[in-house]
């Protein structure tokens, strides 16, 4: 996190910690209240992603070298690029499917470099996003089914 510098990174890590603690309590509550398996799986995906990001941000800077556009190397604890609670979130996937220069006949973008599927995907963020999207699109089936069964 560049915005906020070192203090911003610490605040983000502490926020992640609070979110993970809340997530464990909320998931336990969902289980006790007999939410559907789908809702519990989605909640578990969200919690697992948040926990993965938290672990990265707490410890990664202590045990690995800097990994900007190359593979990080494991080092003895405390000899990494950062301090405790100031690590960067890792586990990125990069899939550049098309890497080319566009033909000159294409208006505006002709002759310019084109990279399709440039974004780098984080496994933990994909778990969080998938859990949230499934809950959003299937909320009537996943979240309200138990309420209907309890009322009848």
| pLDDT tens digits, one per residue of 27-80 | 999 999 989 999 999 999 999 999 999 998 899 889 888 876 667 788 999 898
Block residue for tokens 């007999």: 34
So what's the pLDDT on residue 68?
66
pTM of the model: 0.75
Whether 125 is a known active-site residue: answer yes
From 121, 125, 138, 143, the catalytic residue: 125
**In the chain, which ranges are continuous DSSP H helix?**
5-32, 37-63, 123-137, 139-143, 145-151
Which has the closest alpha carbon to 91: 58, 67, 117? 67
Angle of CA points 20, 119, 70, to nearest 5°: 85
As to burial, measured by CB atoms within 10 angstroms (0-12 exposed, 13-18 middle, 19+ buried), residue 35 is: buried
Q: Which one has a higher pLDDT value, 10 or 21?
A: 21
Quickly state the pLDDT bin for 151 (edges 50, 70, 90): low
Domain total of the chain: 1
State yes or no: pLDDT of 111 exceeds 90.
Answer: yes
What are the structure tokens assigned to 9, written together? 């990174």
d(CA 3, CA 53): 18
State yes or no: pLDDT of 10 exceeds 60.
Answer: yes
Distances (CA, A) of 23 to 18, 49, 128: 8, 11, 12
Whether 56 is a known active-site residue: answer no
Report whether 52 contacts 122 (CB < 8 A).
no
Range of weakest confidence among 73-77, 100-104, 146-150:
146-150
The range of the structural domain enclosing residue 97 comes to 5-151
Q: What is the radius of gyration, based on Cα positions, of the chain? A: 21
So what's the pLDDT on residue 80?
87
From 27, 59, 65, 91, the catalytic residue: 91
So what's the pLDDT on residue 3?
61
Q: What number is the average pLDDT over the span 115-142?
A: 88
């Amino acid at each position: 996190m560049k915005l906020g510098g070192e203090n911003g990174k610490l605040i983000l890590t502490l926020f992640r910690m609070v979110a993970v603690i809340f997530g464990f309590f909320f998931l336990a509550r969902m289980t006790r209240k007999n939410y559907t398996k789908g809702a519990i799986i989605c909640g578990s995906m969200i919690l697992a992603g948040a926990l993965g990001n938290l672990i990265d941000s707490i410890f990664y800077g202590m045990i690995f070298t800097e990994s900007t556009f190359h593979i990080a190397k494991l080092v003895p604890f405390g000899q990494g690029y950062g301090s405790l609670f100031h690590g960067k979130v890792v586990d990125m996937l990069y899939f550049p499917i098309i890497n080319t220069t566009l033909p000159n006949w294409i208006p505006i973008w002709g002759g310019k470099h084109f990279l399709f599927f440039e974004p780098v995907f984080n496994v933990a963020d994909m778990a969080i996003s998938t859990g949230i999207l499934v809950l959003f699109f299937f909320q009537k089936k996943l979240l309200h089914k138990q309420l209907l069964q309890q009322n009848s």
